[in-house]
């Protein structure tokens, strides 16, 4: 998968997750994709400092991104 196509797929995944985060006053943005395997995101709004944001990142964000881009190995939140 080309870098541009990968970025589009990751953005599609984030678009799927975004309404859930926004309903709680949060948001998420794509920072970068490293070596086509690691996605760097930034949680925003009420997601910053939320006690369950690591769980949200792993079970919600990472799982959804892997559905759109299976080669992604990890999703990391940049604070």
| Closest of 21, 57, 23 to residue 39, by C-alpha | 57
**Which CATH topology does 3-77 take?**
GMP Synthetase; Chain A, domain 3 (3.30.300)
Residue 29 near residue 44, CB atoms below 8 Å: yes
- Minimum mean pLDDT among 9-13, 18-22, 30-34, 57-61: which range? 57-61
Distance CA(59)–CA(4), nearest Å, equals 25
Mean pLDDT across 59-71:
93
- Minimum mean pLDDT among 17-21, 23-27, 48-52, 61-65: which range? 48-52
Residue 2 has pLDDT above 80, yes or no: yes
pTM, entire model: 0.89
Distance CA(61)–CA(8), nearest Å, equals 15
Q: Please tell me which residue, 49 or 20, carries the higher pLDDT value.
A: 20
Mean pLDDT across 49-63:
82
């Amino acid at each position: 998968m080309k870098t541009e196509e990968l970025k589009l797929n990751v953005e599609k995944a984030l678009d799927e997750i975004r309404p859930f985060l926004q309903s709680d006053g949060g948001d998420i943005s794509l920072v970068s994709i490293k070596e086509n395997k690691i996605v760097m995101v930034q949680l925003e709004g009420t997601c910053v400092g939320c006690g369950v944001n690591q769980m949200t990142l792993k079970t919600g964000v990472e799982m959804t991104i892997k559905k759109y881009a299976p080669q992604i190995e990890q999703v990391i939140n940049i604070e």
